[in-house]
A and B are shown apart, each in its own frame.
Chain A
Amino acid sequence: MSDVKNFLYLNRRAPYGTVYAWESLEVVLIGAAFEQDVSLAFVDDGVYQIMKGQDTSGLGIKNFSPTYSALGDYDVQKIYVEKESLDARGLTVEDLLDLKYEDEDDDWAEKDSIKVVSAEELAKLMDESDVVLSF
Chain B
Amino acid sequence: MPILHTVNKSPFERNSLDSAISHALKGSSVMLYEDGVYGAMKGTASADKISGAMKDVSFYVLGPDLKARGIDESKLIDGIKVVDYSDFVQLTVDNDKVSAWT
Neighbouring B residues of A61 by C-beta, 8 Å? 68
Neighbouring A residues of B70 by C-beta, 8 Å? 51-55, 65, 95
Instruction: For B43, give the chain A residue with the smallest CB separation.
Output: A90
B55 at the interface (CB under 8 A from A): no
Chain A contact-residue range equals 20 to 34
- Check A58 against B69 for contact (C-beta < 8 Å): no
Residue of A14, A53, A65 touching B10 (CB-CB under 8 A): A14
Neighbouring A residues of B67 by C-beta, 8 Å? 54-58
- Report the Cα distance A24→B41, complex, angstroms: 25
- Check A17 against B12 for contact (C-beta < 8 Å): no
Residue of B8, B13, B34, B69 touching A54 (CB-CB under 8 A): B69
Distance to closest chain A CB from B88 (angstroms): 12
- Report the Cα distance A65→B65, complex, angstroms: 15
- Check B71 against A51 for contact (C-beta < 8 Å): yes
Neighbouring A residues of B35 by C-beta, 8 Å? 14, 16-18, 45
- Report the Cα distance A57→B43, complex, angstroms: 27
- Check B10 against A90 for contact (C-beta < 8 Å): no
21 residue pairs bridging A and B, Cβ less than 8 Å apart: A14-B69, A16-B69, A17-B8, A17-B9, A18-B35, A45-B13, A45-B38, A51-B69, A51-B70, A52-B70, A53-B72, A54-B67, A55-B67, A55-B68, A59-B64, A65-B70, A88-B12, A88-B45, A89-B12, A89-B41, A90-B75
Binding site for A on B (CB under 8 A): 8-10, 12-13, 34-35, 38, 41-45, 47, 63-65, 67-72, 75
Q: Which 9 A-B pairs have the closest CB atoms?
A: A90-B43, A58-B64, A17-B35, A53-B70, A51-B70, A54-B70, A56-B68, A88-B45, A55-B67
Binding site for B on A (CB under 8 A): 13-18, 44-45, 48, 51-59, 61, 63, 65, 88-90, 95
